[in-house]
Structure 1
């Protein structure tokens, strides 16, 4: 198995640097940064390739002015239904992963990895997001959004990869490059399942799971995870109150 070269500085240190650079910014800007940091910390904390599906209660409708960052804030504002680390992002149904909830929820699916093969990584998601959603590629070190796609209309793929509702996210990666792929969507009714598949350098599509994807990835650098993100959020709120 290929191993990543140890970084000279930890992920936590690099994220902290970026946070402190924004210390004087309005709380809204800091909150958007922390929303992206949360994706990196939660998705990238596994010591082996893993995937995550988080469901929360939400009535939000995606707007034309939304970005992946703003939708992350809407997702994080909801009450947690269930959060699950999985071995793949296939057939993520509410019956199994959201305690049977079928309406008024938001789903966030993520995976973080370092590329072991250079080239174009393409992901397609088939899902049921009646209130729209977004897909994004985030830099694994800085949290910057490298690319994103926002959809405001009703998304329902009906189990057909040729359906117009299937949407695609791609990124050209170098060996060792660290990224997070994230999908966030909002559903009114009636809780259809979500499935992600991938292709590398034009190869045939495969379901996104550990068995199929492992050979294309390196193990991501472990992070100090969500505790750091929560701590930074506390500092941001405290700083804003002090300025008032």
Structure 2
């Protein structure tokens, strides 16, 4: 029988790729998804088992459970995400709205019923990459307001869904401001630093964390 796996959804670049790299270095068996051949090749070169999945395509997501075929998943991570930057003086186009909300919210909500039962069967953790930019109580400005809205919606989706998966811990994760294509070169954290923090947080998760936003430095969000 195969060893239990760590699943990383949306792993072809940035934090997803770094999560795969570090978990493989830890000696874990990792299953990673990407939407195109180039992404799959990068993951395969690291030593991950790969699955093709495009979270923006419901038909692709619907085959995820079939591809996983009853895998035991003590840890699953939804990392896929899209950002659009304009503030509230610029109305989002329908194209931008659909792209951001589909990848950041709908994709996660469609993946969860495919993967959640496998995580629950293992008594595991299902983490969804969110952001401190999702916090309503401490929002400092209007920049990237569509992205902020999508991550706040993701927090709610996960907080609500946890009631249907009581033997798993479902949580959202704040990686911090990271030097990725999304975060930019001026960000204070490298991907390596952010992922080391996320791994430590995920290793410390308890049932009391289900439905909460967990920061990369170990803090638990006190409010949304």
Tell me, yes or no, whether TM beats 0.5: no
Q: TM-score, normalised by structure 1?
A: 0.24
Larger proportion of strand: 1
Q: Does 1 or 2 have the higher relative contact order (CA < 8 Å, sep 6+)?
A: 1
The structure with more helix, counted as a fraction of residues: 2
TM-score, length-scaled by structure 2: 0.25
Larger radius of gyration: 1
